[in-house]
């Protein structure tokens, strides 16, 4: 797939990447092709532009830059922190689909959530968030799926941000003593927390393959979070099959098709044939049915049918989670005039810290109904990051979150 086929009309390049890009035939070819129908900006040192032009033999890329580029360059310097969508000829809500930002990886891309993000002890972290996730890798800083409800969509008025050489920083991060200790203790590395490395854009840069190849050298466990059926493409099936003992795919399916308009497949039905391509090759798959939003995807017959299809596909357990709307998400939905804002704003809910959840009575009743469905179909289940549920639900779980090293040790 060419850059021009991804749908973006503007590409921003971090000037610190240019020395790598000029030696990357694949990216250079993509940029030269893109220049026929889009605009390219350089963020940072404008003198790096000369290297890019020289590498293209003064041809297509040179002709793409005009006096307009010179006058707008200063505005692009703070493109991530203070975005002016007018610069790119689009509305703020269109930035994610109109502008692609190729960014340099200067900070760690593999982090321990407990210490570096939440600043808590592990026990306090688990109690507060009902989550055992520690190691997270990201090669994108925003997700092109643009799902309306997503916790990663605090700011839709930002570009799709790709770190094309994040795997090189990953190699450095894997030498960190704390990271090595956590890997030795069995904690898996999560690929796909705030983005989806099986998305169409990510596949274009081959971000998933680069990450898996680096991580497998470290002997670490990997679980890939995705809602993209690209994960079942032959290319990825063969990649994951080679490390099937050390990898789990968590596939998200929600029955929220109208809120997931950028997925690479028609998500009105669970993609059983696609998931079977993975499980028949010995690649373990867990279904995440999350988020459950009152009145939208909580029909029990629909949930039961999804679980039936997941069992047919060879899924080994299902993780269940209710919607969680951070106050910033609500602010953003209102700012972007989303049709979801009145619905969520008027939903019977309760606030816990900076997040809104459906009312406890609803969560409790719905959880009981889903437990009955899972037990009837003999599907193992667990509640995903649901510390606000009554403790009785953790006692009823027949499965275990894949973040927990104990699951990997007990389920082989």
Query: Which tens digit of pLDDT belongs to each residue from 115-132?
Result: 666 666 666 666 666 677
DSSP code, position 117: I
The mean pLDDT value for 219-244 works out to 95
Q: How many C-beta atoms lie closer than 10 Å to residue 50's C-beta?
A: 11
Q: Where are the beta strands (DSSP E) in 227-362?
A: 247-252, 284-292, 317-322, 325-326, 349-352, 355-358
The mean pLDDT value for 7-30 works out to 85
Q: Is 292 helix (H, G, I), strand (E, B) or coil?
A: strand
- Whether residue 227 sits in one domain with residue 174: yes
Q: What is the mean pLDDT of the chain?
A: 82
- Whether residue 49 sits in one domain with residue 141: no
The mean pLDDT value for 255-268 works out to 87
- Bridge partners of residue 191, in order along the sequence: 137, 224
User: Has residue 108 been placed in a domain?
Assistant: no
Residue 75 has pLDDT above 60, yes or no: no
**Residue 245 to residue 240: CA distance in whole angstroms:** 9
User: Has residue 259 been placed in a domain?
Assistant: yes
pLDDT band for 11, please (50, 70, 90 cuts).
Answer: confident
Residue 387 has pLDDT above 70, yes or no: no
The mean pLDDT value for 382-386 works out to 77
pLDDT band for 65, please (50, 70, 90 cuts).
Answer: very low
What element of type H or E holds 110?
A: strand 110-112
- Whether residue 389 sits in one domain with residue 253: yes
The mean pLDDT value for 55-74 works out to 37
User: Has residue 257 been placed in a domain?
Assistant: yes
- Whether residue 194 sits in one domain with residue 292: yes
> What is the pTM for the complete model shown?
0.88
Residue 46 has pLDDT above 80, yes or no: no
- Kindly report the backbone phi and psi dihedral angles of residue 280, in degrees, each rounded to the nearest multiple of 5, phi listed first: -70, -15
- Whether residue 88 sits in one domain with residue 9: yes
Cβ atoms of residues 197 and 207 within 8 Å: yes
Per-position DSSP letters for 144-187, written without gaps between them: TT--TT-TT-S-TTS-EEE-TTHHHHHHHHTT-HHHHHHHHTTP
- Kindly report the backbone phi and psi dihedral angles of residue 248, in degrees, each rounded to the nearest multiple of 5, phi listed first: -135, 135
Q: How many C-beta atoms lie closer than 10 Å to residue 87's C-beta?
A: 17
pLDDT band for 391, please (50, 70, 90 cuts).
Answer: low
pLDDT of residue 118: 62
The 8 Å CB, 24+ separation contacts for 175-184 are 176/108, 176/110, 178/112, 178/115, 179/110, 179/112, 179/135, 182/112, 182/134, 182/135, 183/135, 183/218, 183/219, 183/220, 183/221
Range of the domain at 166: 115-410
CA 153 to chain centre: 11
Residue 57 has pLDDT above 50, yes or no: no
pLDDT band for 79, please (50, 70, 90 cuts).
Answer: very low
Residue among 172, 163, 263 nearest 205 (CA): 163
pLDDT of residue 60: 37
Residue among 280, 145, 142, 134 nearest 200 (CA): 145
pLDDT of residue 63: 35
Q: Is 140 helix (H, G, I), strand (E, B) or coil?
A: strand
How many distinct helices (H) and strands (E) make up the chain? 19, 15
User: Has residue 107 been placed in a domain?
Assistant: no
Residue 231 has pLDDT above 80, yes or no: yes
Residue 54 has pLDDT above 60, yes or no: no
- Whether residue 381 sits in one domain with residue 296: yes
Cβ atoms of residues 214 and 171 within 8 Å: yes
Q: Highest-confidence range of 85-89, 107-111, 310-314, 384-388, by mean pLDDT?
A: 310-314
pLDDT of residue 260: 87
Residue among 258, 189, 266 nearest 227 (CA): 266
- Whether residue 125 sits in one domain with residue 191: yes
Cα 343 to Cα 64, 267, 294: the distances in Å are: 44, 22, 10
Residues found in the chain? 412
pLDDT of residue 411: 57
The mean pLDDT value for 166-182 works out to 95
pLDDT of residue 70: 35
- The structural domain count of the chain equals 2
pLDDT band for 317, please (50, 70, 90 cuts).
Answer: very high
- Whether residue 141 sits in one domain with residue 38: no
Half-sphere exposure of 223 (CA within 13 A, CB side): 26
The mean pLDDT value for 14-43 works out to 81
What is the sign of the dihedral through the CA atoms of 148, 150, 156 and 162?
A: negative
Which of 77, 102, 127 marks a domain boundary? 102
User: Has residue 358 been placed in a domain?
Assistant: yes
User: Has residue 109 been placed in a domain?
Assistant: no
- Whether residue 317 sits in one domain with residue 174: yes
For tokens 């993209």, name the residue. Answer: 228
The mean pLDDT value for 320-329 works out to 87
Residue 62 has pLDDT above 90, yes or no: no
- Whether residue 217 sits in one domain with residue 326: yes
Which of 68, 102, 136 marks a domain boundary? 102
CA 280 to chain centre: 25
User: Has residue 130 been placed in a domain?
Assistant: yes
pLDDT band for 37, please (50, 70, 90 cuts).
Answer: confident
Residue predicted with more confidence, 293 or 48:
293
The mean pLDDT value for 251-268 works out to 89
CATH code, domain carrying 375: 3.20.20.70
pLDDT of residue 78: 38
Half-sphere exposure of 341 (CA within 13 A, CB side): 12
Helices (H), 300-399: 300-313, 327-335, 340-346, 360-377, 392-396
Q: Highest-confidence range of 113-127, 142-156, 275-289, by mean pLDDT?
A: 275-289
pLDDT of residue 212: 97
pLDDT of residue 206: 95
User: Has residue 110 been placed in a domain?
Assistant: no
pLDDT band for 324, please (50, 70, 90 cuts).
Answer: confident
pLDDT band for 241, please (50, 70, 90 cuts).
Answer: very high
Residue 348 has pLDDT above 50, yes or no: yes
pLDDT of residue 130: 62
Which of 102, 128, 157 marks a domain boundary? 102
Contacts of 215 (CB under 8 A, 6+ apart): 137, 170, 174, 189, 222
pLDDT band for 297, please (50, 70, 90 cuts).
Answer: very high
pLDDT of residue 52: 57
- Whether residue 124 sits in one domain with residue 31: no
Residue 97 has pLDDT above 90, yes or no: no
- Whether residue 240 sits in one domain with residue 289: yes
């Amino acid at each position: 797939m060419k850059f021009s086929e991804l749908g973006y009309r503007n590409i921003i390049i971090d000037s610190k990447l240019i020395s790598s890009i000029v030696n990357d035939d694949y990216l250079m070819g993509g940029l030269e092709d893109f220049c026929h129908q889009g605009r390219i900006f350089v963020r940072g040192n404008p003198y790096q532009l000369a290297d890019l032009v020289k590498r293209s033999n003064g041809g297509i890329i040179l002709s793409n830059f005009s006096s307009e580029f010179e006058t707008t360059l200063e505005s692009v310097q703070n493109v991530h922190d203070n975005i002016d969508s007018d610069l790119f000829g689009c509305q703020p809500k269109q930035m994610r689909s109109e502008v692609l930002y190729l960014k340099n990886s200067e900070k760690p891309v593999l982090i321990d959530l407990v210490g570096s993000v939440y600043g808590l002890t592990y026990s306090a972290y688990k109690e507060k968030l009902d989550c055992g996730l520690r190691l997270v890798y990201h090669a994108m800083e925003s997700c092109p799926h643009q799902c309306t409800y997503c916790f990663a969509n605090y700011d839709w008025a930002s570009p799709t941000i790709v770190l094309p050489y994040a795997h090189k920083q990953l190699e450095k991060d894997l030498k960190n003593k704390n990271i090595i200790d956590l890997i030795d203790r069995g904690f898996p590395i999560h690929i796909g927390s705030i983005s989806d490395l099986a998305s169409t854009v990510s596949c274009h840069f081959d971000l998933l393959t680069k990450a898996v190849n680096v991580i497998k050298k470290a002997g670490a466990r990997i679980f890939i979070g995705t809602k993209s059926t690209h994960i079942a493409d032959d290319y990825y099936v063969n990649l994951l099959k080679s490390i099937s003992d050390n990898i789990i795919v968590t596939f998200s399916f929600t029955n929220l098709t109208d809120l997931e308009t950028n997925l690479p497949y028609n998500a009105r039905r669970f993609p059983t044939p696609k998931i079977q391509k993975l499980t028949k090759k010995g690649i373990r798959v867990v279904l995440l049915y999350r988020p459950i939003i009152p009145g939208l995807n909580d029909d029990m017959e629909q949930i039961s049918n999804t679980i039936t299809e997941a069992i047919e596909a060879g899924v080994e357990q299902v993780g269940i989670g209710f919607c969680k709307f951070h106050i910033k998400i609500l602010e953003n939905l209102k700012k972007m005039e989303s049709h979801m804002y009145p619905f969520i704003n008027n939903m019977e809910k309760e606030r816990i810290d900076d997040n809104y959840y459906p009312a406890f009575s609803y969560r409790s009743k719905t959880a009981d109904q889903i437990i009955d469905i899972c037990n009837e179909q003999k599907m193992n289940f667990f509640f995903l990051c649901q510390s606000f549920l009554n403790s009785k639900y953790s006692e009823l779980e027949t499965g275990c979150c894949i973040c927990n090293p104990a699951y990997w040790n007990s389920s082989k």
